[in-house]
Amino acid sequence: MLIALSSLISGLVALYLHLWKIGKAGSLACSGSGGCALVQGSKYGWFLGIDVALIGTIGYALIFIVAIVGTSARFDDSRAITRALQLLIWPAVLFTLRLKWAEFVILKSFCPWCAVSAVTITLCAVLVTLDARRLSREA
């Protein structure tokens, strides 16, 4: 349930950033440093021509859906749900590491909204790993 809740929150943050980037959300609410606009407007705000915030929105939506399905009693001990979450979360962790490296090292900036996503995907990775261990112990 915590994976579902955190992915919902970060998915909404990513949607907000995407809507801002395409001009549908008004001004970008961020700290006074201007880091959000710098990071979002940089070449690292895009991946293969696709807005990184849109990728995050879709990724978090998929994690949310799988996690919600996994909360039903029918899937309490489903290895398939845990595996699907691992296949969604771990590539996102690697993608986030790349983005945070670019943000800190190359751009020398900080985007609080991006930090929300980094914390969320890290939390999801820890939780899905703990669930995988739980399932392997029960097998």
pLDDT, tens only, 11-68: 999 999 999 999 997 777 776 566 788 888 899 999 999 999 999 999 999 999 999 9
Domain residue limits at 122:
2-138
Pairing of strands 46-47, 50-51: antiparallel
For 43-58, b where at least 16 C-beta lie within 10 A, e where not — what string?
ebbbeeeebbbbbbbe
The enclosing domain of 27 has a CATH number of 1.20.1440.130
The structural domain count of the chain equals 1
pTM of the model: 0.92
Task: List Cβ neighbours of 9 (8 Å cut-off, separation of 6 or more).
Answer: 116, 120
Predicted pLDDT of residue 34 = 67
Predicted pLDDT of residue 37 = 83
Task: List Cβ neighbours of 42 (8 Å cut-off, separation of 6 or more).
Answer: 102, 107
pLDDT, tens only, 66-89: 999 999 989 988 899 999 999 999
